[in-house]
Structure 1
Amino acid sequence: MKLNQFEISILPQIIFGAGTIKKLPEKITNYGKKVLLITGDSSLSKSDYWTQLQSDFFDLKIELIVFKVSDEPSAKLVDQAVSKFQYSSIEVVVGIGGGSVLDAAKAIAGLLPFGNSIMDHLEGVGKGIEYLGSALPFIAVPTTAGTGSEATKNAVISERGENGYKKSFRHETLVPKLAIVDSELLISCSAAQIAANGMDAFTQLIESYVSTKANHFTDALALDGIKAVVEGFIFAWQGGNTKDAIFGRNKMAYASLISGITLAQVGLGSVHGLASPLGAFFPIPHGVVCGTLLAEATRVNITAMNQREPKNIALEKYSHIGKMLLEDEVLKSKITQQKSLDYLVQVLHEWTTMLKIPKLSNYGVTKQKFDKIISECRGSSMQTNPIVLLDNEIEVILNKRL
C-alpha cells in the first residue's frame, strides 16, 4: 500500500508508567522553581502520594502556589487566574488532575506571560486576535484516563447555558513540555468516572482511526490504543487492587494518552461534533456525551456509508475494529465485513448498557432542542467524520440516545 504524505505536529516529552509521578519534582527544576500548581478540588491533597511530593518539593526548594479548578474551565476562571498570578514570577505551570484541570492549566500557562483575556484568542467566540506565544512551560499529569489533553495543543473552554459554547484556545506552544502519565493515579477514580472517561478515550481512538485525515502513522497508534482498550477497559472499570484491575488501569492510561496524540494530529468525528453543543447547552460531562453517543453514531456512520459511499475506506476500518473485539480467532478469519460491522455496533451498545452510561434526557435534553444542537454541531470535529451526515441522520443519533 502506498504511503501518502502526512505531517505530525509537536508532541510533549512523555514519561509513562506506574509510579512515574515520583519524577515530577526533579523534572520541574528543569524549568524553574516558582510553580503554579493547578489541581482539582481535593483529590490531590487527599492522595497517598501528596505527602511525599510535598517533601520532595521542599528538599528541592520548589515554591508552590496552588490554584484549584472544580469544573470545566470557563473564560472567566482562566482570566481570573491570569490576573491573580501575572505578577507572581511564575516560571512553570503544573496541572495535576482530569481533563478540565489540564485544559485550565494549559490556557493559563499560555496567557500568563501576556496578561490578556482568553477571549482575545478563543476560536469562534473570541475577538479573533492571533495568539503568537510563547506559553510558560507546562507539565501535565493526568489523574483520569479519558481526554488525552496531556498530548494536545488545545485547551477547551466552556460556557454553559442557552447561549453557551465549548471552544478551543489552540497553539503549538500550548503543547505541554512534559506529560507524566502514571496509571497509579487512576486508583481514586470511581467506576462511573472510569466508564465515562474510558468511553471518551475509546471514542477518540475510533474517530481518529476513521478520520478523513488519518494516515499510516496515526492508524498504527490508534489501533494500538484500541487494542489497549479491548484488553483493559472492563478490568479497570471493575476496580479494586487486583492484578487485573492494575493491568486494566495501566492499559487505559496508555489508551488515553494515545487518543490525545491521534486526535491532535488528524481530528475526530460526529460524536465530538455533537459533544460541543451538548456540553455547552446542557450540564453533561464530556465523557458521558461520548459514551452515550458512540454506539449509535458508529451505526449511523456505517449505514450512511453503506448507502452512499460503499467503497469508503472507513467501512474496512470499522470492520477491523469489530474483528479486534472478537475473542474467537477462527471466527475472525471467516467473518464477513458486514457481520464484523454489526458486531462492532453490538458490542458498543452492550458496553454502553453495562457501564450504565446515562441518556441525554437525564441532563435536560429534549426533542425541542434538536434543531439548535444540530445547527451548532458542524465544527472542526464533524469536518473529519468519515462521511458527511445529513441533518436527519444526526437527529437519529440524538433521538436514539434521548
Structure 2
Amino acid sequence: MTVNRMILNETSYFGKGAIKEVANEARKRDFKKALVVTDKDLIRFEVATKVVDVLKNAGLEYEVYDGIVPNPSIEDVQAGVKACQAAGADYLVAIGGGSPIDTAKAIGIIVENPEFADVVSLEGEVGTKNPCLPILAVPTTSGTAAEVTINYVITDKANQRKFVCVDPHDIPVVAFIDSDMMMGMPKGLCASTGMDALTHAIEGFITKGAWEMTDMLHIKAIEIISHALRDSVAGNQEAREKMALGQYIAGMGFSNVGLGLVHGMAHPLSAWYNTPHGVACAALLPLIMDFNKEYTGEKYREIAVNIGIKEAAELPLPEVRERAVQAVKQLGIDVGIPKRLSELGVKEEDIPKIAEDAFNDVCSPGNPREATVEEIAALYRSML
C-alpha cells in the first residue's frame, strides 16, 4: 500500500482585508522583529506598503529587504541571509509573487541550517535538520502558490540553470490570501501567473504521484481557474478573488505530489533567457498536454467537464482529449500568451542543451509519459 503525505500551512486567511491579521499572528506567536522580504516595485507602487503599515500601526519592529528580482539567484539569497542576520529578525514577512516568497524560504532555511550557506546544496530533497525561520507569506499574484508549497526555485547564474528545492521545513507557517493585494497586477502578469496556476492544477492532476485527495483539489482548481481567468485579466475583483482561491487550492495539491514536463521544460527557459516562469509554463502547457494525452486514462474527460466543454461526459475519449487540449490553448490565446518560443528568445542552436537541462529537471520524472532528451528537443523545436 502506498503511503501518501499532505503538508499544508498551520493557518491561512482568505478574503479582502486578510492582511490585517498579520499583526495578530505575529503577536500571538511572540515574534519580536520581522524582515520584510519583497521587491522594489512592490514598495514603489505601495503594494507591500499595505502590509508594512499593518506592522507599523501595531507597533511591531521590522526592517525591509527589497532586493528581490525575478528568477532570484544564489547571490540574491546570500544577500538576503546577510540582511536577515544584520536585522536580528526572528521571522520573515514575504510579500510578492514566487520570487520574494521563494527567496524568503531559502533565507529562512539557511539562517536555521547554516551548513547550506552555499545555497546550491539545497537542490532536490536534502533533508534539512531544522525548520526555517518562521515565514508569514502574502502573495501579490494569483499563480505561484508559493505561500502553500514546500518547493522553491533558485537560479544558478554561473551554470545557466534553475534548480528546485523540496523541503517540508520551508513552508510558511501562515498565509494571507487577500485579493486586494492582487489588484495591482498588470494584465500580462495576471495572465501568465493565472496560466501557471492552471498548469499546476493540470500537471498535479495527471502526475504519477497523484491520488484521490490531490485529485479532488486539482479538479476544483481547474474549474475555478478556467472560469475566472479571463475576467481576472480584465481586472474584475470578484474574478481575482476566485483566482486567488483557485491558485491556492492547486498549490495544496501539487506541492504534495509534484509536477511534470511543462515545468521541467519551463525552468531552462527562465535560466537561459530570463523568461518569466508563468509565461514559459503557459506557452508550453497545451503542447505537453497533447504529448501526454494518451497516457492519462479518463482524466482529460474530467478536465474537459470542469472547464465546461459541452457533452464532455459523453464524447469519445480521443475527441474529449483533443477538446481539452484545444480549450486550454484557446484560453492562453484569449489572455495573450505567446504562441511561439521564438517570441521568448529561444534559439535553435541552444535547444540541445536546454533539452538536456529539461530532462534532468526534478519535475520531469513526474510526467505521466516518459520523454527522452531527443523527444524534449523535438517538442521545443515544434514551438519555435
**TM-score of the two chains, using structure 2 as the length reference:** 0.92
2:172 — aligned with what?
176
2:376 — aligned with what?
394
Aligned residue pair count: 379
The 1:56–1:80 alpha-carbon spacing in structure 2 relative to 1, beyond 3 Å, is closer
**Pair 1:361 & 2:364 matched:** no
Check the 8 A contact 2:113/2:128 in 1, yes or no.
no
Percent of pairs with identical residues: 28
2:138 — aligned with what?
141
Between 95-104 and 82-91, the greater mean CA deviation after superposition: 82-91
> What's the secondary structure of 1:176's corresponding residue?
coil
Check the 8 A contact 1:150/1:176 in 2, yes or no.
yes
Check the 8 A contact 1:222/1:262 in 2, yes or no.
yes
**Pair 1:301 & 2:282 matched:** no
Between 353-362 and 338-347, the greater mean CA deviation after superposition: 353-362
> What's the secondary structure of 1:94's corresponding residue?
strand
How far is 1:97 from its partner? Answer: 0.6
How far is 1:60 from its partner? Answer: 2.7
How far is 1:333 from its partner? Answer: 3.8
Provide the alpha-carbon RMSD of the alignment. 2.2
Deviations, residues 332-389 of structure 1 (Å, cap 9, x unaligned): 3432211111111111221222222123212321222121111111222111101112
Between 255-264 and 41-50, the greater mean CA deviation after superposition: 41-50
Deviations, residues 144-193 of structure 1 (Å, cap 9, x unaligned): 011111111222111347x3121133322211100111122111001100
1:77 — aligned with what?
76
The 2-side partners of 1:28 and 1:164 are apart by 38
Check the 8 A contact 1:93/1:139 in 2, yes or no.
yes
How far is 1:250 from its partner? Answer: 1.2
1:242 — aligned with what?
none
Structure 2: which amino acid aligns with 1:338?
A: P
How far is 1:4 from its partner? Answer: 6.1
Check the 8 A contact 2:164/2:362 in 1, yes or no.
no
**Pair 1:225 & 2:221 matched:** yes
The 1-side partners of 2:78 and 2:257 are apart by 30
**Pair 1:101 & 2:100 matched:** yes
Please list, as runs of the form range in 1=range in 2, the aligned pairs for 1:234-383 lying within 5 A after superposition.
234-239=230-235, 245-302=236-293, 305=294, 312=295, 314-328=296-310, 331-358=311-338, 359-378=340-359, 379-383=361-365
The 1:383–1:247 alpha-carbon spacing in structure 2 relative to 1, beyond 3 Å, is same
How far is 1:56 from its partner? Answer: 3.9
**Pair 1:210 & 2:206 matched:** yes
> What's the secondary structure of 2:207's corresponding residue?
coil
Structure 1: which amino acid aligns with 2:122?
A: L
Larger-Rg structure? 1
**Pair 1:156 & 2:153 matched:** yes
> What's the secondary structure of 1:35's corresponding residue?
strand
The 2-side partners of 1:48 and 1:365 are apart by 33
Structure 2: which amino acid aligns with 1:17?
A: G
**TM-score of the two chains, using structure 1 as the length reference:** 0.88
> What's the secondary structure of 2:233's corresponding residue?
helix
Check the 8 A contact 1:12/1:175 in 2, yes or no.
no
How far is 1:115 from its partner? Answer: 4.7
The 1-side partners of 2:237 and 2:56 are apart by 31
**From 21, 24, 39, the counterpart of 1:23:** 21
Between 27-36 and 392-401, the greater mean CA deviation after superposition: 392-401
> What's the secondary structure of 1:155's corresponding residue?
strand
Check the 8 A contact 2:225/2:246 in 1, yes or no.
yes
Check the 8 A contact 1:204/1:260 in 2, yes or no.
yes
1:309 — aligned with what?
none
> What's the secondary structure of 1:356's corresponding residue?
coil
Check the 8 A contact 2:37/2:93 in 1, yes or no.
yes
